[in-house]
Structure 1
Amino acid sequence: MAHHPLQRLAAPSRQFSLLLHLAGIASFAASFRFLETWDTPMGKAYGGHYQFLTILGLSLAMATFVLGAMADLTLSPQLFAVKNALSSFSTPLEVLISILYWGLCAIDKSLVMPPEFSLDFLPDFGFHAAPAIFLAIDMLLLSPPWTIRGYTAMALSQIWAFLYWYWVEHCFSKNGWYPYPIFDILSIPQRALLFAFAALIMTGSSAALKWVYGQVNGVEQMKNEAVREPMRVNATQ
């Protein structure tokens, strides 16, 4: 099956593309399996583990790769297009999750995880690094150039950030505690700034991924768009 002329490797394909998607699915499934055996109060509370941005992102990563594997097996351009559309959101989200998690861990790991529930390296990597790595490889090597614009990426990031904030506060109203300890430390205005900052990082991640795509695949237009669009967005704020 012919692939996009600006796409580095063939996809959908029953070769490397399928192997990558199956490997990602196995990694994500192992993380979900770990959750089933991880006995914590969070898992039994209202919202369960889906109070965590990490698990919501992991669910989107799984959906993206399942669609990718189905496209590979059937060689369906329709499924491939849906996978790429979902990837344009799930990949920057996973990059955001990795940046926030490892960044806060570098400051103080207790901001994101109570010490008594600290994870060993393998599950920690599986939740907070592997999804971003798998999705980035898929985006850079097995996808056509993203057509999402800076304004759209910014709007989606802001909508997602404040929907998640609403979800966190709703779960707090039922459980009496927040999934991430940092939320207990911050006041309401500070939490608003944190979520706005997260939306900004996610928008920047989209631009950075577009630039890297252009660099890896030799697409000057992608590199130029990645530089110009954040400047236009900032100019309107």
Structure 2
Amino acid sequence: MAQDTARGLIQQHPLQRVSSPSRGASALLHSFALASFAYSFAYLVRNPNPINESYGWHMQYLTIIGLSLATATFAIGLLADITLSPTLFKVKNTLSVASAPMECLISLLYWSLRAIDVKLVLPDWAPPLPLSADLSFHAVPSLTLVIDLLYFSPPYTIAFLPALALSGCIAFGYWFWIERCYQVNNFYPYPLFEILNTPQRIGLFATSAFLMTLATSTLIWLYGFVNGKEARETGTDNVTKKVRSGNVKGE
């Protein structure tokens, strides 16, 4: 047992604060988040509306797409905790590179637009969301993913241009998807899209891609602020060597 613990500490990235994968705090965080996500999906089923019967279901909403990706991230994370699998841990960290910035973007856009006018994000026929559901959809995913990154994961090493490319693929992939849904349903999931014309929607998605990239850069900076920069060590040949950087797979 002592040897297994020591081996785990050696394999853990030097900047990672809390042991993960583990059946302790890491598993508790992932379990709590998954319980909240399950509540969100159950809310959609128990409170049906016209979206339930339309083409694309609730996956027309960026919120639900992000929630699905966050669920996959933490489901794999919990499996890694239970099995102590380094491979599943790497998969969880790889998914986090997309899911954490995406959820930060969703929270930023939703709460900002809601503060301006709730009718920009909720159609007239939609009843107000209770606070518990609103937080479960639009706050808990981003908060738990950020906590997971800062305390239970190695640092991101994705560069700005790859992050921008990833964000652009997600943003414009979503645009093509909702246009497909519009062709069938003849309405957009968010009222804001009805207000904007096509060039304005392109501008909105381009801005969203940039904001998601900015979120990735901010998370990288925040990780360094909370956990410090990569340490340096001096080898036996008195040459200063940089400690091997962790990558997005958690190595």
The separation in 2 between residues aligned to 1:88 and 1:95, in whole angstroms, is 12
The separation in 1 between residues aligned to 2:23 and 2:66, in whole angstroms, is 26
Partner of 1:75: 84
The separation in 2 between residues aligned to 1:23 and 1:122, in whole angstroms, is 14
Q: Determine if the alignment matches structure 1 residue 30 to structure 2 residue 39.
A: yes
Deviation digits for residues 133-175 of structure 1 (CA, Å, limit 9, x no counterpart) = 0100000000001111111100000011111000000000000
Q: Residue 146 of structure 1: SS of its match in structure 2?
A: coil
Amino acid at match of 2:116: I
The separation in 1 between residues aligned to 2:161 and 2:205, in whole angstroms, is 18
Deviation digits for residues 73-125 of structure 1 (CA, Å, limit 9, x no counterpart) = 11111000000000011000000000000000011010010244221111011
Q: CA deviation at 1:212?
A: 0.5
Partner of 1:185: 195
Partner of 2:26: 17
Q: Determine if the alignment matches structure 1 residue 53 to structure 2 residue 62.
A: yes
User: Any conservation in 1 of the 2:15–2:230 contact (CA below 8 Å)?
Assistant: no
Partner of 1:216: 226
Partner of 1:231: none
Matches for 1:136-215 after TM superposition, within 5 Å:
136-215=146-225
The separation in 2 between residues aligned to 1:30 and 1:219, in whole angstroms, is 37
The separation in 2 between residues aligned to 1:10 and 1:81, in whole angstroms, is 14
Q: CA deviation at 1:196?
A: 0.3
Deviation digits for residues 196-233 of structure 1 (CA, Å, limit 9, x no counterpart) = 00001000000000111000001269xxxxxxxxxxxx
User: Any conservation in 1 of the 2:114–2:120 contact (CA below 8 Å)?
Assistant: yes
**Is there any run of 5+ residues in structure 2 with no aligned partner, and where?**
1-7, 232-251
What's the C-alpha RMSD, in Å, of the aligned pairs?
A: 1.0
Amino acid at match of 2:107: S
Q: Residue 134 of structure 2: SS of its match in structure 1?
A: helix
The separation in 1 between residues aligned to 2:217 and 2:230, in whole angstroms, is 14
Equivalent residues, number: 221
TM-score by length of 1: 0.92
The separation in 2 between residues aligned to 1:67 and 1:58, in whole angstroms, is 14
Partner of 2:121: 112
Bigger relative contact order (CA 8 A; separation at least 6):
2
The separation in 2 between residues aligned to 1:53 and 1:38, in whole angstroms, is 19
Amino acid at match of 1:39: P
The separation in 2 between residues aligned to 1:91 and 1:113, in whole angstroms, is 24
TM-score by length of 2: 0.86
**Is there any run of 5+ residues in structure 1 with no aligned partner, and where?**
222-237
The separation in 2 between residues aligned to 1:82 and 1:197, in whole angstroms, is 28
Q: Residue 8 of structure 1: SS of its match in structure 2?
A: coil
Q: Residue 117 of structure 2: SS of its match in structure 1?
A: helix
The separation in 1 between residues aligned to 2:111 and 2:66, in whole angstroms, is 15
The separation in 2 between residues aligned to 1:82 and 1:149, in whole angstroms, is 19
Choose from 108, 112, 115 the match for 1:103.
112
Partner of 1:130: 140
Q: Rg: which structure is higher?
A: 2
Q: Percent identity among equivalent residues?
A: 52
Q: Determine if the alignment matches structure 1 residue 90 to structure 2 residue 99.
A: yes
Stretches (4+) displaced over 4 A:
none
